[in-house]
């Protein structure tokens, strides 16, 4: 008697058996994965995580706000929007010296990636600011850390020829000269963060000053430029998890390449913003989102980002077991509180976790050269101040 044909493996079974990432997911397939029983989903995600990553290794990242407030966007969750009265005072761009001092402290506390965020819509007309950011990136990389920035995106969105070597990209988009483009290339930027925030369908309820397609174009141009893409979302924006979390993951999982990292933010409601008073995302929906992202984007780093400070240690562990393998740690996360280094070191010790070491961590650092760079910047700052006083 002929044997019956072998049944085709289900979408979930295929995801569990994956040995490499795929970018051909349908939304229905991801929905099928997402809606598995949570215990089975989280267990399967943990197994896939062990296939692609060292399970005990968690990347420590520190985020510094290098330019606070005054942003013209209307992101309904953000304290830095100039449209809302949140009591946040706008500041100028931080000095290179202060940023490198902060990066040095982060490095000493075990952070592997130093992220710098500026509350701008774009970099148009900010040549001096761009030069300072170049120096910040160089200094961070010289310390043996990854460097990530988020600086707005209008300058990535203008139409241009996609012959995207660094010089043509930067010269065309930022209208910088060749020397400035060369410096940015040599600075060694690791990643550029630009979150989608939520699904395409829910997005217009959160932001109106920038379209979803503009965000996707930014991500595409960053990727084409050879920069790692860091893109994720915020959970708890009044979305429907079963559709909007699936939609967010589907959009990122069907890009030409999966993002290098996927930040999962738990909304921190800020008084004065439209999202203040919004009901918090449920733990089961947070874990389900992380587990689904791990199965659908198995090689991507999944980062527990904003809002982790509100989670008990036991809840954080559930997220790690479901596939999360990076966190933000340090004094602040932009304008919100963050779990401190000592707190996280104690947590790592209790649970047998260890800091993830990437290629950037293996850089042999000449600490004296970093010190000279900081001192040099400090001297330049004093000289500029003296000149201004003389002019006054």
Number of domains in the chain: 1
Percent of the chain with pLDDT over 90: 54
Q: Give domain status of residue 193, yes or no.
A: yes
Q: Average pLDDT, stretch 185-197?
A: 85
Catalytic residues: 71, 75, 78, 115, 148, 230, 303
> Is 373 within 8 Å of 139 (Cβ atoms)?
yes
Residue 328's DSSP bridge partners are 61
> Is 194 within 8 Å of 212 (Cβ atoms)?
no
Residues 6+ apart with CB under 8 A from 152: 118, 120, 121, 122, 123
Q: Give domain status of residue 41, yes or no.
A: yes
Domain of 191, in residue numbers: 24-377
Which of 245 and 219 is assigned the larger pLDDT?
A: 245
pLDDT, tens digit, 9 for 90 and up, residues 324-351? 999 999 887 666 678 899 999 999 999 9
Rounded distance between C-alpha atoms, residue 53 and residue 81, angstroms: 37
Helix locations, 54-188, DSSP H: 96-108, 127-142, 166-173, 178-187
Lowest mean pLDDT among 103-107, 191-195, 196-200, 267-271: 267-271
User: Strand locations in the chain, DSSP E?
Assistant: 57-67, 113-118, 146-150, 191-193, 228-230, 233-235, 261-266, 301-304, 326-328, 332-333, 336-337, 354-355
Give me the pLDDT at residue 353, please.
97
Q: Give domain status of residue 188, yes or no.
A: yes
According to the per-residue pLDDT averaged within each range, which of 28-42, 126-140, 273-287 is highest?
28-42
Position 204 pLDDT exceeds 70: yes
Position 116 pLDDT exceeds 50: yes
Q: Give domain status of residue 313, yes or no.
A: yes
Position 77 pLDDT exceeds 90: no
Lowest mean pLDDT among 66-75, 77-86, 192-201, 359-368: 359-368
Q: Give domain status of residue 2, yes or no.
A: no
* Torsion 350-291-362-374 (CA) sign: negative
pLDDT band at residue 218 using 50, 70 and 90 as cut-offs: confident
User: DSSP letter at 197?
Assistant: B
Element (H, E) at 48: helix 38-52
Rounded distance between C-alpha atoms, residue 298 and residue 319, angstroms: 15
Rounded distance between C-alpha atoms, residue 56 and residue 222, angstroms: 30
Task: Look over the chain and give the mean of its residue pLDDT values, rounded to a whole number.
Answer: 81
Which of 218 and 259 is assigned the larger pLDDT?
A: 259
User: DSSP letter at 352?
Assistant: T
According to the per-residue pLDDT averaged within each range, which of 10-24, 114-128, 363-377 is highest?
10-24
293, HSE (Cβ side, Cα atoms, 13 Å)? 33
CB neighbours of residue 375 within 10 Å: 11
Residue 218's DSSP bridge partners are none
pLDDT, tens digit, 9 for 90 and up, residues 154-184? 333 333 333 333 333 322 333 223 343 345 5
Rounded distance between C-alpha atoms, residue 337 and residue 268, angstroms: 9
Domain with residue 366: its CATH number is 3.20.20.70
Name the pTM for this structure. 0.83
CB neighbours of residue 4 within 10 Å: 6
Of the candidates 152, 149, 151, 171, the residue with the CA atom closest to the CA atom of residue 160: 171
Give me the pLDDT at residue 171, please.
27
Rounded distance between C-alpha atoms, residue 235 and residue 264, angstroms: 7
Q: Give domain status of residue 368, yes or no.
A: yes
Q: Give domain status of residue 19, yes or no.
A: no
Q: Give domain status of residue 33, yes or no.
A: yes
């Amino acid at each position: 008697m002929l044997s019956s044909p072998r049944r085709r493996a289900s979408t979930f079974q295929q995801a569990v058996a994956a040995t490499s990432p795929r970018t051909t997911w349908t939304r229905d397939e991801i929905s099928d994965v997402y809606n598995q029983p949570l215990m089975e989903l989280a267990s399967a995600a943990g197994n896939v995580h062990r296939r692609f990553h060292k399970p005990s290794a968690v990347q420590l990242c520190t985020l510094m706000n290098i330019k606070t407030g005054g942003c013209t966007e209307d992101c309904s969750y953000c304290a830095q929007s100039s449209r809302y009265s949140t009591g946040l005072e706008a500041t100028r761009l931080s000095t290179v010296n202060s940023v490198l001092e902060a990066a040095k402290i982060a490095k000493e506390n075990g952070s592997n990636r130093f992220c710098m965020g500026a509350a701008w819509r774009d970099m148009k007309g900010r040549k001096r600011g761009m030069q300072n950011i170049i120096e910040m990136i160089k200094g961070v990389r010289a310390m043996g850390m990854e460097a990530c920035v988020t600086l707005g995106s209008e300058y990535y969105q203008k139409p241009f020829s996609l012959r995207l070597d660094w010089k043509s990209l930067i010269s065309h988009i930022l209208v910088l000269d060749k020397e400035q483009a060369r410096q940015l290339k040599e600075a060694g930027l690791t990643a550029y963060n630009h979150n989608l925030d939520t699904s395409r369908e829910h997005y217009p309820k959160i932001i109106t000053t920038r379209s979803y397609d503009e965000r996707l174009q930014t991500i595409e141009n960053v990727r084409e430029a050879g920069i790692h893409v860091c893109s994720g979302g915020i959970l708890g924006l009044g979305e429907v998890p079963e559709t909007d979390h699936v939609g967010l993951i589907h959009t990122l999982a069907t890009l030409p390449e999966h993002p290098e990292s996927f930040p999962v933010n738990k909304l921190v409601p800020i008084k004065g913003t439209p999202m203040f008073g919004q009901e918090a995302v449920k733990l089961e929906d947070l874990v389900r989102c992380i587990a689904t992202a791990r199965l659908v984007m198995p090689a991507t780093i999944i980062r527990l980002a904003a809002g982790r400070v509100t989670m008990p240690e036991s809840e954080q562990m559930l997220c790690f077991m479901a596939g999360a393998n990076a966190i933000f740690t340090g004094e602040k996360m932009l304008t919100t509180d963050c779990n401190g280094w000592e707190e996280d070191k104690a947590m790592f010790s209790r649970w047998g976790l260890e800091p993830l070491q990437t290629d950037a961590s293996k850089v042999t650092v000449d600490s004296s050269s970093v010190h000279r760079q900081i001192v040099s910047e400090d001297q330049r700052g004093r000289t500029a101040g003296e000149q201004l006083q003389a002019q006054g």
